[in-house]
Structure 1
Amino acid sequence: MTETVFVAGAGLSGAVIARELAEAGHRVEVYEARDHVAGNCYTARDEETGVMLHHYGPHIFHTGDTQVWDYVNRFTRFHSYRHRVWTTVGGKVYPMPVTLATINQFFGQALTPAQARAFVADRAVSIPEPANFEEQALAMIGRELYEAFFRGYTEKQWGRSPRDLPASILKRLPLRFSYEDSYFNHPFQGMPEDGYTPMVAAMLDHPGITVHLSTPLDPAQVPSGAQLFWSGPLDAYFGMKLGRLGYRTLDFEHLRGQGDFQGCPVMNYGDVDTPWTRITEHKHFAPWESHEATLVSREYSRLAADGDTPYYPIRLVDEKALLSDYVRAAEALSGVTFVGRLGTYRYLDMDVCIREALDAAAAFLEAREKGGSMPAFLSSVL
């Protein structure tokens, strides 16, 4: 039975769900508060330099999910791209994440992989069950590497002491005792030839989909009995009536010039007295292009306020308590499913957003076939 489904948000989650349901024969009305599609992975040509600008910070596509990789390649051409990151600390430049090269350069050694493993183990602090970011770092790499590469950067990024942050944040970063310097380990990595915006626009280009830009969706607009997929902020759905969930947001300072500013796509700055966290040089994300001009963005992190774009859910003690209240409120609803980074208040990479959106669309089709309804969440968000 064909029905009209409503989607709040034209980012990756909303676009994938809309496409899947439109291809299954449903009408989909997509509402987007911003004046463009693609959410925070929005890209556009800079008029002055011709460089493709990642407006909301760098986005690199990487995944180990073959179905997700095949899916995005339906809508754009991807170029192979291996992301590499460098960090400036104490006036010197090192590769990140921490690799054998980082260890040898920082300590002035020429260690083999086995020697480096033992060398770092000798400096690691014995903490059987690390309770926070700092303890996890000390147990993993020892005090010298932690102080140099993680403490200052983390304080700037999160605005909190690493002792106040969960250990899980650091667990996302690899420690390698080899000279492999790719930032990600996934087998599929690439950049869309024309940026992410055309890819998302292609997903939404279907006769069964209507996109309403610059049009926030008021949940009260959705007809009774219709299904809504909400990829906006979870607390915004409820009008913040229980309180505001905490996010970090980013400010960007864009600089234009000629030549090559830093020789790499991303340079982190680990020193706490350097106010920015990193500098992105956008043209290095498209090595198949040639630009005499350049565009770089200094990135500053701060607590999100009213009207700011939310980037990173904080998920500390206070936020988790409030999140539990919103989850209970959401689960008491019918006809609303919360998806994506904002809707589930989780830090999700692009490939995970797509995977969960594909699963959400499949769950909806199965539920309708069986005459059932959708849950508020398809995976645990607490």
Structure 2
Amino acid sequence: MQDIAIAGAGLSGAVIARELAKAGYRVTVFESRNHVAGNCHTQRDSETGVMVHVYGPHIFHTDDREVWDYVNSFERFLPYQNRVKTTSQGRVYSLPINLLTINQFFGKTLRPDEAKDFIASRADTSITEPVTFEDQALRFVGPELYEAFFKGYTQKQWGCSPTELPASILKRLPVRFNYDDNYFFHAYQGMPEKGYTAMIERIFDHENISIKLSTPFERSWKQHYAHVFYSGPLDAYFGHEFGRLGYRTLDFERFTYEGDYQGCAVMNYGDLDVPYTRITEHKHFSPWEKHEGSVCYREFSRACGADDIPYYPIRLVKEKEQLAAYEEHARRETGVTFVGRLGTYRYLDMDVTIREALDQARAFLATNQRKSA
């Protein structure tokens, strides 16, 4: 029985550990925090009983039926649709931009075809090849909707002008010419009934898996294992040899409220004079539960420091140059597979993280099977 080390007890580490343990490997998981589940960690608030997404909300959505069946085999997922609202200039609107948003904002009663033509008339058609986020927004929705819903929010989220960000960031944000305000298009959407941490604890529940909490993985330990799956920060593994890769981090200002604070799970704030990007009200992420009290987070985005939790990879020019150097080092590193959002320096949705972890575990098992044949 071969020994495998996994750095990180989040989704990537849990799925890979389970697949390898089932195949007969002994797996040791090293986790720097004092709990499993990484940034998906959920826990009951002792004061209100609300299930809190400790590191900010995580909403599961996918078109991958195998991944959906996989998570449901460890925890029952109940229906949940993300219906985001935004406050701009003292008024509340529905996101993503849809027919209600357009009619509300412009004081119209447009039908879908009329709204398409109207938005097309506001768009800046002189921008034929959008390069920046601002170019794309102006070409896509015109100056009024850009100013109200994207400009301030984006500047707060990324800490720079939208003219410094690539157009590709905005391509993920849809505009709908109907009244559908479900944020995601995916066939399967939901939330784990008892939280993500309960689900991940069940994934780890195998006799061949041992977990060492509050124990960051040390690169020198690699020699003691047949293989290492590393889901920590790529630059940290190599001792930040080429400098720190850039991330945005989040600060949460937690507060409680007796009753219903905002009537929805997520309220964005697009105005620059509001310092936070959004307020999340956590009891609305579990709509099947009833709680009188409420737990809310005001969310502030800023540059990630050495001791902060990295959330969003920046991936602008400087970071891409550093990343190329780290990726070259990673290709040369034997006996280690870099996985997950930190190990690959990419923003990954949860379903993609699980899909990649399943594929990586299966590829490893298939390769080892061929070697032993």
TM-score (ref. length: structure 2): 0.98
Q: 1:378: which partner in 2?
A: none
Q: 1:36: which partner in 2?
A: 35
CA contact (8 A) 2:5 2:225 kept: no
CA distance in 2, matches of 1:192, 1:240: 36
CA distance in 2, matches of 1:247, 1:362: 30
Tell me the SS of whatever aligns to 1:98. Answer: coil
Q: 2:68: which partner in 1?
A: 69
Q: Give the deviation of 1:224 after TM superposition.
A: 5.8
Q: 2:129: which partner in 1?
A: 129
| Residue 12 (structure 1) aligned with residue 23 (structure 2) | no
CA distance in 2, matches of 1:220, 1:173: 43
Q: How many residues align?
A: 371
Q: Give the deviation of 1:222 after TM superposition.
A: 1.9
Amino acid across the alignment from 1:354: I
Amino acid across the alignment from 2:35: H
Q: 2:162: which partner in 1?
A: 162
CA distance in 2, matches of 1:110, 1:270: 24
Q: Give the deviation of 1:310 after TM superposition.
A: 0.4
Tell me the SS of whatever aligns to 1:371. Answer: helix
Q: Give the deviation of 1:223 after TM superposition.
A: 2.0
Q: 2:246: which partner in 1?
A: 246
| Residue 98 (structure 1) aligned with residue 97 (structure 2) | yes
Tell me the SS of whatever aligns to 1:151. Answer: helix
Amino acid across the alignment from 1:282: H
Q: What are the equivalent positions in structure 2 for 1:1-382 lying under 5 Å apart?
A: 2-126=1-125, 127-223=127-223, 226-371=226-371
Amino acid across the alignment from 2:12: S
Displaced runs of 4 or more, over 3 A: none
Q: Give the deviation of 1:231 after TM superposition.
A: 0.4
Amino acid across the alignment from 1:210: S
Amino acid across the alignment from 2:116: R
CA distance in 2, matches of 1:76, 1:248: 31
Amino acid across the alignment from 1:357: A
Q: Give the deviation of 1:194 after TM superposition.
A: 0.6
CA distance in 1, matches of 2:359, 2:138: 38
CA distance in 2, matches of 1:334, 1:371: 16
CA distance in 1, matches of 2:95, 2:325: 38
CA contact (8 A) 2:3 2:225 kept: no
Deviations 1:155-214 (A, max 9, x none): 000001111111111111111111000011101000000110000010000001111100
Amino acid across the alignment from 2:122: R
Tell me the SS of whatever aligns to 2:223. Answer: coil
Tell me the SS of whatever aligns to 1:223. Answer: helix
Tell me the SS of whatever aligns to 2:174. Answer: coil
Tell me the SS of whatever aligns to 1:241. Answer: coil
User: Residue 21 and residue 128 in structure 1: after superposition, are their counterparts in 2 closer, same or farther (change >3 A)?
Assistant: same
CA distance in 2, matches of 1:331, 1:224: 20
Q: Give the deviation of 1:225 after TM superposition.
A: 6.4
CA distance in 2, matches of 1:271, 1:366: 52
Q: Which shows bigger deviation, 124-133 or 201-210? A: 124-133
Q: Which shows bigger deviation, 270-279 or 222-231? A: 222-231
User: Residue 196 and residue 225 in structure 1: after superposition, are their counterparts in 2 closer, same or farther (change >3 A)?
Assistant: closer
CA distance in 2, matches of 1:219, 1:177: 52
Amino acid across the alignment from 1:356: E
CA distance in 1, matches of 2:128, 2:327: 32
Deviations 1:322-342 (A, max 9, x none): 000100111111111111010
Tell me the SS of whatever aligns to 2:337. Answer: strand
CA distance in 2, matches of 1:128, 1:23: 53
Deviations 1:90-149 (A, max 9, x none): 000000110011111000000011110111111111222211111111111111101110
Q: Which shows bigger deviation, 191-200 or 126-135? A: 126-135
CA distance in 2, matches of 1:224, 1:370: 23
Tell me the SS of whatever aligns to 2:108. Answer: coil
Amino acid across the alignment from 1:5: I
CA distance in 2, matches of 1:226, 1:133: 45
CA distance in 1, matches of 2:73, 2:339: 22
Deviations 1:226-278 (A, max 9, x none): 21111000001011121000000000011112000000000000001100000
Amino acid across the alignment from 2:27: V
CA distance in 2, matches of 1:257, 1:134: 37
Tell me the SS of whatever aligns to 2:163. Answer: helix
Q: Which shows bigger deviation, 160-169 or 121-130? A: 121-130
Tell me the SS of whatever aligns to 1:252. Answer: strand
TM-score (ref. length: structure 1): 0.96
CA distance in 1, matches of 2:270, 2:68: 33
Amino acid across the alignment from 1:182: N
